[in-house]
Structure 1
């Protein structure tokens, strides 16, 4: 598998007379777009009173104190909290969902809308949100794409107050960040087995077992449909409840069994639990308790309906939710028999059945996947269940003679089950057809832009290759490279880099130092170093790779040209634009000569050179080259080819950088619509386009459209890429910036603080994006008038920029300018003016006299002279700056207009990063 990822590098600058925060930390690419009418309707659509999708109320005895505590958590403001949210956590089967459901039903009158969300995965959260849109705007929703439905729901929640979202069964606390971090008009209530990983400001309630009286009453209600019994029956119920550890799921399972077997007394059932069947259970206390109950239940089911036991053991190895009955129907099996078997399981509370699909409790799956040390039949039952699940999935993916291969939507429907099988693969357990299915599913996810979600599949493929082919087989080395690339796509550089280092060492040993695959490995490792902000290791490695390519393959070999282009990209990232541009110009000339003027690689070079010109502030050359490149790509590749869409996006960015929003915004809108149609709603390029459109709206002062679009983009990036992927963090930064622009510092500052902490954890303390985030937080503090926090943070940031990037890197100069403006805001002109004079001289030397950053610096210095009463120097400098802006940027560019805040954006989209 190979990837070709677009790179973007961004920095935010606070500049100008009032030194406000810069805008966006990263760029965007493209995907789905909401129809124009849908961008406005969320604020106008109201929910009918009592709108909800709540399941029927479940039996909930006791828990009164817990219900009161949940209400207190959701209705009380907490220090450091952005929104009102709470989490109920505890063991699987402890009754978290029952408690949340009981709370929701009890307080239906307190909310305008209540929505129950299956939160086991980002995809399932999205599915629940699409149903919300379908409920509120059924007409439009029938023809809208999934991503547009999710975005509409997010915008509706952003506009309307007094709702409750119940996120049931959260597996990863990070999955909720797009919602708790961006939606503040209502309450968020989550249930989860996870006790760690929640934000420090999150309010949590740990749910324990039932009180003895409540457990006894619940058991009596389930078995006898009443709680007032004869003293002997009450005593037996109390003893059995104690034997079950007052564990709610155990009580429910035992009650369901006894209700189905009226001839068995509570005391007789308790004695069965004490037989040798109970002594085989391993694991946690709750798992041992449940295993004991299920041993009894399964023994009964084996006599009543053996097929039901087989179905249950098969379902244990699949994704826990939405398992189609048809997937469990083997060839030659009557579908009605499967339906009856599922009905039996539901009657014993072993599964939840909708009539066409079933769900299995995760604790049930955990226990059923665990081997039992009983008789031979039981000890291998879990493996037979695993084999059944594998056969079921492969049966659906293997075309029958004379029939077509599985459709794409069938692959997509089965992918969650393949991911579950891959993630739960027993050690040394391999299945060749299944490994091939894993690889195919991983390739589909990669093609859809979801490489990060393919990690379990690719890990399983690698394990298979290591066993079947050996550790240094070429197929194994390729597989190892693919796993590393998936880690890198997921933003998990801590795992990606060591694996790429190992892959390179093995390829060097097996293939030799200059084999093309070895050179590709070296290139991939260097790009990972670059992604991690470690340019000190990336650049020498790329220089070495280029020298080896030139020697082994020749100066104009396509791989050599790719290597040269990547080295130029690293120089550009390091702020060494003179070397970057020179190398890009050489590469473009060579590609034109060797490959032709319209070869895709030649067009990539032209695109990359244009973005370098843009970074250097030469917008006239950048725009002209981007226009030419776009026209050539449209002619050579077609109007909707991904590379054409890259060009269209980059041209829109350049128009935006030039202040020409009348051309930038329509082009962003068109690009987003085309990417959505061509690539899908959640493809990274689609999300980048959505982000770019939001920033363009923000630049145009249209915050009513910018903020909801930022909210939607952040939610989708969290789900598609993960909570700490660099693009996700960039989106979170951009949303905070939009809040700051809107003057909503109460939302902006906490979000910036969270984002900075995540950048530090994900990328390290001195990564360029971390430094940018620190700069932005300081700018927000400054906007809030909190100079005591802003100035020390800016001083730290400047020192780190000088150490990591060098004294004259553009980001260092931006940081120096921002610190000087903060000194000026604090009235410390003795420090501000000399620092601004030095910074202006450096900007002029590094970027030229009319670069936008230079103009900002000149304007800042003029403002400082004015504040010092030195009008003889201030006025000529203001006049000169205005004239230069009019000439360089145009008369109506936002930076030209004196009423607009000074700001500068660095954004670009490189069209080429080859991965072997």
Structure 2
């Protein structure tokens, strides 16, 4: 983006992917670059055997077979095994977390460390790891940034075997890849409602409802607290368990209610259930069951402890985990009174309490957010209390002071929950300002894509209050388009950019700086989509207008010059790209200084152009120098620093230095998976590059499956004829050829050539590469029919090495 937009949210406009300073959007702390004192501590810090952050274990009846499966799966390699893992999946309320917790407590003595991780999002995983760092090195952690704390925890786990990590409530299996793929010497156990998206070889345990006898046992154990039930009570327990669908969460809440109300029999409770209408009539059966159980409990709590009811309705609108006690009541509430209310909720198994925070089951939250009838105002009142509590908690956090980072990290999940679950038409202006502030914090932390719910809510508010073409509305739309593009969702980003350009032209005029900024952004999105036919002319026009309006050396003009050079490079026109990059570097050094972030990015881009031109003698030293400067000026974990490292790895690869290239590529893939997700275009780009490095090393057993997986994901995410999809198809065909599998290589080369001719034109460099590759693979196939087949095949392969036209770390319209 550019620094054009001075009216609102300049930070987003100034630092998106289209800026001269933009590189690959990555935000991870590389283990090799931690401060020396942190590395020293991670290697030498030890813990008392059995350290954990486990909550108390509740009852877990009827799961012995499942516990046996977990133990066998996690220890299947014996004591010498490393990094065994397993996943428990099933419907909400079926008892996945309870099973994992019971396993952890049963075998607690076999692990040096057990750490319970909230895995509902990448942010939550990172937060749980920072808590481990704070437990082990509290003094250092108090001074360290969140990224450093996360990295320290990973370093510690890498150096100390014998641990168990439990990832609870995994929403996206790809979120675990950075940890399960790199942390060895321990066990990984995940719970999730997701049945798809896991690695093909991942051990999976589907967890169903309890059988009838076990369900009745659980009810009796909870309701009678160890007292042996009579035969009649046992029969009533069977009937009630059947009514509750043998769902563990429902059984637990019903048992807790009966334990707190000894005068109610099991049969009486079952009859009360029959009078409760299924609240979420269109929901899943589990949700309808919980709605009925919840109705009975709520009727009692309304009479017994109204404050507990209010607190529960408030919690329903927040993130399900780590809800601070202070968010649950209005100012002036006595802390002891609140503690009693939370204790009541815990006694009825409506929440899990740690003493400072609570957690609420997602099914319970879903039920609580649904009005019981047309006159039920408690849902809306609960949301209003949640909103006001967050606004009070935010206080002065609208600034991005680094000292507030931990407080932001604690509150943003709740803001995201509010934004994503807002009732239709529900808009609160102060809350919108909080959404914008939270989106800014996520942007500053390189988590722009995760701000999408916040920005969508902000756009809706701005459109309703300010109108469709107000400058602040247009700013918000621009920022939402940035987030879509960062998430790789060009189908939503491009139309939104186009609409913003049209509105700014109409409202602000054709040459207003904000209009030019939007045009620059749109051109970048076209380039990211592989549409250079529209990207290049728009970049050229924007540069000309910026030169005229802002001057030849204005920072925004330099941005446009850089981006145009990048588009030329993407089109294979190095004759225009290299001189333009060189001129931009000189001007950045003169105008901005030798170590300005834009200057560093320009040097990185110039090195990439040299590399594309085959001039590694100039590319590699320039990359190395730029990496050093980025580490010094921007920090070890800044996206531009990581982008430069990734590009340096590719330069090493092209120079034949695979011993340095492959580890750097592998690290980059892990970081992209962690930050961007498993199918983000930039993740796929890095994965494609890693596969190319494996192939260059002759490791086709790792290269071919990775090329195949990347191609399938690019077809799904980007479409069948996107330039990067065609790159993957070409690279896979070449890998097949290198493996001697011409029956698969030739059709793939033919399809790629036809599509490149159609999409890119007959003379595009990539089309020429495909034509050349097809000619040589056909020559190789003909050679196989001759007596000297083996010799000819080897000679052909060496004479025509793999074409790898996609510059690593240089995706779409970003700076390379």
Range class of TM-score, shorter chain: 0.7 to 0.9
Per the TM alignment, residue 299 of structure 1 is displaced from its structure 2 partner at its CA by 2.0
CA contact (8 A) 1:323 1:358 kept: yes
Per the TM alignment, residue 397 of structure 1 is displaced from its structure 2 partner at its CA by 2.5
1:655 and 2:621 aligned: yes
Deviations 1:861-888 (A, max 9, x none): xx989959xxxxx9xx9xxxxxxxxxxx
Counterpart mapping for 1:593-632 below 5 A: 607=603, 610-611=606-607, 614-615=610-611, 617=613, 619=615
Give the equivalent residue in structure 2 for 1:389: 386
CA contact (8 A) 1:92 1:193 kept: yes
Per the TM alignment, residue 610 of structure 1 is displaced from its structure 2 partner at its CA by 3.3
Counterpart mapping for 1:896-911 below 5 A: 906=807
Counterpart mapping for 1:445-464 below 5 A: 445-464=442-461
Per the normalisation by structure 2, the TM-score is 0.81
CA contact (8 A) 1:222 1:255 kept: yes
CA contact (8 A) 2:726 2:752 kept: yes
SS at match of 2:167: strand
Structure 2 distance, partners of 1:142, 1:410, is 13
Per the TM alignment, residue 499 of structure 1 is displaced from its structure 2 partner at its CA by 1.7
Per the TM alignment, residue 217 of structure 1 is displaced from its structure 2 partner at its CA by 0.7
Give the equivalent residue in structure 2 for 1:177: 177
CA contact (8 A) 1:481 1:499 kept: yes
Point out the more displaced range, 700-709 or 356-365: 700-709
Give the equivalent residue in structure 2 for 1:754: 709
Deviations 1:143-164 (A, max 9, x none): 6654344445556767888865
SS at match of 1:87: strand
1:579 and 2:576 aligned: yes
Residues 409/46 of structure 1: CA separation in 2 closer, same or farther (3 Å cut): closer
Per the TM alignment, residue 371 of structure 1 is displaced from its structure 2 partner at its CA by 1.5
1:498 and 2:509 aligned: no
Per the TM alignment, residue 118 of structure 1 is displaced from its structure 2 partner at its CA by 1.8
Structure 2 distance, partners of 1:237, 1:392, is 41
Aligned match of 1:529 in 526, 529, 536? 526
Deviations 1:108-131 (A, max 9, x none): 688786543221111122233445
Counterpart mapping for 1:401-800 below 5 A: 407-511=404-508, 515-545=512-542, 562-581=559-578, 607=603, 610-611=606-607, 614-615=610-611, 617=613, 619=615, 654-655=620-621, 664=624, 668=627, 671-672=630-631, 674-676=633-635, 681=637, 683-689=638-644, 691=646, 713-736=668-691, 746-778=701-733, 780-781=735-736, 789=744, 793-794=748-749, 796-797=751-752, 800=755
CA contact (8 A) 2:177 2:674 kept: no
CA contact (8 A) 2:176 2:674 kept: no
SS at match of 1:88: strand
Per the TM alignment, residue 173 of structure 1 is displaced from its structure 2 partner at its CA by 2.9
CA contact (8 A) 1:218 1:227 kept: no
Deviations 1:834-867 (A, max 9, x none): xxxxxxxxxxxxxxxxxxxxxxxxxxxxx98995
CA contact (8 A) 1:5 1:911 kept: no
Per the TM alignment, residue 736 of structure 1 is displaced from its structure 2 partner at its CA by 4.5
CA contact (8 A) 1:28 1:692 kept: no
Point out the more displaced range, 422-431 or 495-504: 495-504
Give the equivalent residue in structure 2 for 1:100: 100
Per the TM alignment, residue 172 of structure 1 is displaced from its structure 2 partner at its CA by 2.2
Deviations 1:239-287 (A, max 9, x none): 2112212111010001111111222221222222233x54545333222
Structure 2 distance, partners of 1:716, 1:602, is 23
Give the equivalent residue in structure 2 for 1:857: none
1:299 and 2:310 aligned: no
Per the TM alignment, residue 579 of structure 1 is displaced from its structure 2 partner at its CA by 3.0
Residues 210/705 of structure 1: CA separation in 2 closer, same or farther (3 Å cut): farther
Per the TM alignment, residue 760 of structure 1 is displaced from its structure 2 partner at its CA by 2.6
Per the TM alignment, residue 675 of structure 1 is displaced from its structure 2 partner at its CA by 2.9
Per the TM alignment, residue 611 of structure 1 is displaced from its structure 2 partner at its CA by 4.1
Per the TM alignment, residue 359 of structure 1 is displaced from its structure 2 partner at its CA by 1.2
Give the equivalent residue in structure 2 for 1:892: none
Residues 509/669 of structure 1: CA separation in 2 closer, same or farther (3 Å cut): closer
Structure 2 distance, partners of 1:46, 1:829, is 61
Residues 711/148 of structure 1: CA separation in 2 closer, same or farther (3 Å cut): farther
Deviations 1:5-59 (A, max 9, x none): 46799xxxxxxxxxxxxxxx98989976224687799899999876765544432
Give the equivalent residue in structure 1 for 2:5: none
CA contact (8 A) 1:698 1:706 kept: yes
Deviations 1:636-677 (A, max 9, x none): xxxxxxxxxxxxxxxxx64177xxxxxx3x863563365337
Give the equivalent residue in structure 2 for 1:888: none
Give the equivalent residue in structure 2 for 1:890: none
Structure 2 distance, partners of 1:221, 1:462, is 52
Deviations 1:223-254 (A, max 9, x none): 11348421111111112112212111010001
Structure 1 distance, partners of 2:27, 2:120, is 28
Per the TM alignment, residue 765 of structure 1 is displaced from its structure 2 partner at its CA by 3.3
SS at match of 2:457: helix
1:4 and 2:15 aligned: yes
SS at match of 1:274: helix
SS at match of 2:634: helix
Per the normalisation by structure 1, the TM-score is 0.73
Which has the higher relative contact order, 1 or 2, with Cα contacts under 8 A spaced 6 or more apart? 1
CA contact (8 A) 1:90 1:207 kept: yes
Per the TM alignment, residue 86 of structure 1 is displaced from its structure 2 partner at its CA by 4.4
Per the TM alignment, residue 409 of structure 1 is displaced from its structure 2 partner at its CA by 4.1
Deviations 1:468-499 (A, max 9, x none): 12223332222212111111122221211122
CA contact (8 A) 1:84 1:187 kept: yes
Structure 2 distance, partners of 1:605, 1:714, is 21
Per the TM alignment, residue 383 of structure 1 is displaced from its structure 2 partner at its CA by 0.3
SS at match of 2:468: coil
Aligned residues: 788
Per the TM alignment, residue 577 of structure 1 is displaced from its structure 2 partner at its CA by 1.7
CA contact (8 A) 1:29 1:692 kept: no
Structure 2 distance, partners of 1:826, 1:103, is 57
1:828 and 2:794 aligned: no
Residues 512/449 of structure 1: CA separation in 2 closer, same or farther (3 Å cut): same
CA contact (8 A) 1:824 1:864 kept: no
Deviations 1:343-370 (A, max 9, x none): 2211111111111111111111111111
Residues 797/203 of structure 1: CA separation in 2 closer, same or farther (3 Å cut): farther
Per the TM alignment, residue 213 of structure 1 is displaced from its structure 2 partner at its CA by 1.0
Give the equivalent residue in structure 2 for 1:127: 127
Structure 2 distance, partners of 1:602, 1:233, is 75
Give the equivalent residue in structure 1 for 2:253: 253
SS at match of 1:676: coil
Per the TM alignment, residue 727 of structure 1 is displaced from its structure 2 partner at its CA by 2.6
Counterpart mapping for 1:311-350 below 5 A: 311-350=311-350
Structure 2 distance, partners of 1:476, 1:72, is 57
Structure number with larger C-alpha Rg? 1
Structure 2 distance, partners of 1:104, 1:67, is 10
Per the TM alignment, residue 521 of structure 1 is displaced from its structure 2 partner at its CA by 2.6
Point out the more displaced range, 40-49 or 184-193: 40-49
Structure 1 distance, partners of 2:641, 2:555, is 29
CA contact (8 A) 1:241 1:251 kept: yes
CA contact (8 A) 1:29 1:686 kept: no
Structure 1 distance, partners of 2:531, 2:584, is 24
CA contact (8 A) 2:18 2:520 kept: no
Per the TM alignment, residue 430 of structure 1 is displaced from its structure 2 partner at its CA by 1.0
- For structure 1, list consecutive stretches of 5 or more residues without a partner in the other structure: 10-24, 624-652, 658-663, 834-862, 869-873, 878-894, 896-900
Residues 250/395 of structure 1: CA separation in 2 closer, same or farther (3 Å cut): same
Point out the more displaced range, 50-59 or 423-432: 50-59
Structure 1 distance, partners of 2:673, 2:378, is 38
Structure 2 distance, partners of 1:121, 1:581, is 41
